Amino acid sequence: MGTLRHVAELPASIRVQRAGCSSHGAGCNGASAVTATPGEYTLTENVPQWQAYFRHLNEQRASRLAKLAAPHLPQVRPPVVDKPAAGFGFTLIGDMIGDGLKPVAWLVRNYVEADSLALMFGDPGCGKSFAAIDLACCIATGTSWHGNKTTQGAVFYIAGEGQNGLARRFVAWSQHNSIPLAGAPLFVSQRPAQLCSAAAAAEVANAVGGLEAVTGHKPALIVIDTLARNFGGADENSAQDMGSFIANLDAFLRAKWRATVLIVHHSGHADKSRARGSTALKGALDAEYALTKDESGVVRIDATKMKDAEQPAPLAFKLETVTLDGLTDDEGKPITSAALWSVPHVAPAKAGKTGRGRNQTLALSILAELFDERRARLERGGFDANAARVKLEEWRDRLAENGVDRKRFYDLRNTLKDAGRIDIEFGDYVSLVDERPV
């Protein structure tokens, strides 16, 4: 038998009675429930009913205490789950493929995809800027690009060269193809942009967005001509700087409008089969095209990368001189420019042995390196890279630094000249035949 010390008055529903009493409360059921002495109650029977009573009593007390304490306790809130960062998320694969795969969206059938990053590269004077202008004009006017269907859309051309020279090239395209550009959604920048800088890239995006708001023309193609003139003071050979350049193109120009960005760039210093600078650029591309120009003036375009489509057929062009209607210089002579004209593609003939010996190969490579250095210096100063020139003595000195005997220089120079690989110009300047500007 247990003993309970009472701390409160029993309620009326529970009576303390003697044996033989009639049932009146929850604590008595025809038998003695509790015997009482002063100050204590003793349980004998019906213990579960007493326990239920005290549970009820404790619940009431706990409820009253909670109400009194609530204003003085810290608020407990449910945990906050961070939402994914804006612009980043995941898609269930079933949702991604549930509606069926979409076909490739082409700006230029088989050659340029919509919403992609593409590159044209080649040596100075090979016609790469003419090719970019040709492509831009075809897309802006919905004109077939040399037999390949285009999807018409607005073009924004970020130019690194002077406005006058570029304007002449656009006029030459219009005359050559008998297609007016007046009213075409083709916009040309007034200056280069420093696209390694996020702030500068944002400025370009704001300018594009402003024109879109006024004209209603959403960009389909954004051309950057050239990378060097729109790279700022950063280092093309730095993977970090090139990564910033690519990230800014994606974030500020491509993603916002799902536009294609086409970069015009120079070929490498010694390796002419790839674009100049960090290989991080090629890794980021969806498509890459190499442009070359042979001794006969044929410009060839070959795909060197197609990320998600079949390799297209190579193309060939000639740069045709176009006399601009009604335009003359200060001496009354007609002003000319050039435009691309399709010709059948024939694989270039393999080079002979001349120029392939160790010293000859080294001499041509070093001469190309000197030209690249001059061009880069001119570009940094805001001048035309095609004005680069190299003195014979500079070439000779650089060869000597690389182990070629000075006494052998003139024999080496004459061999390459006779083979048609170099030209000696007035003033003792030397040029690479396949790198002379148009």
Q: What pLDDT digit, counting tens, does each position of 109-154 carry? A: 999 999 999 999 999 889 999 999 999 999 999 999 999 999 999 9
The answer as to whether 312 is a domain residue is yes
Task: List the beta bridge partners of residue 319.
Answer: 340
Residue 256 contacts residue 250 (beta carbons within 8 Å) = no
The answer as to whether 99 is a domain residue is no
Residues 186 and 64 in one domain: no
CA angle 246–250–256, rounded 5-degree value = 160
The answer as to whether 20 is a domain residue is yes
d(CA 277, CA 137): 28
Residues 295 and 212 in one domain: yes
CA angle 215–220–221, rounded 5-degree value = 110
Residues 335 and 370 in one domain: no
Our count of domains for the chain comes to 3
Cα 404 to chain centroid distance, Å, stands at 44
Residues 172 and 236 in one domain: yes
Residues 145 and 276 in one domain: yes
* pLDDT score recorded for residue 62: 67
Residues 152 and 280 in one domain: yes
Q: What is the CATH number of the domain that holds 235?
A: 3.40.50.300
CA angle 141–143–147, rounded 5-degree value = 165
* pLDDT under 50: residue ranges of the chain: 1-44, 81, 83-84, 352-355, 435-438
Give every CB contact of residue 52 below 8 A, 6+ residues apart in sequence.
26
* pLDDT score recorded for residue 366: 85
* pLDDT score recorded for residue 45: 52
State the residue range of the domain holding 16. Answer: 3-72
Residues 273 and 241 in one domain: yes
Q: What is the CATH number of the domain that holds 399?
A: 1.10.10
Residues 310 and 170 in one domain: yes
Domain termination site, one of 343, 373, 394 = 343
**Amino acid residing at 232:** G
* pLDDT score recorded for residue 435: 44
Residue 374 contacts residue 390 (beta carbons within 8 Å) = yes
Residues 362 and 339 in one domain: no
Give every CB contact of residue 421 below 8 A, 6+ residues apart in sequence.
354, 355, 364, 432, 433
pLDDT digits (tens, 9 = 90+) for 79-103: 554 544 556 789 898 888 887 778 8
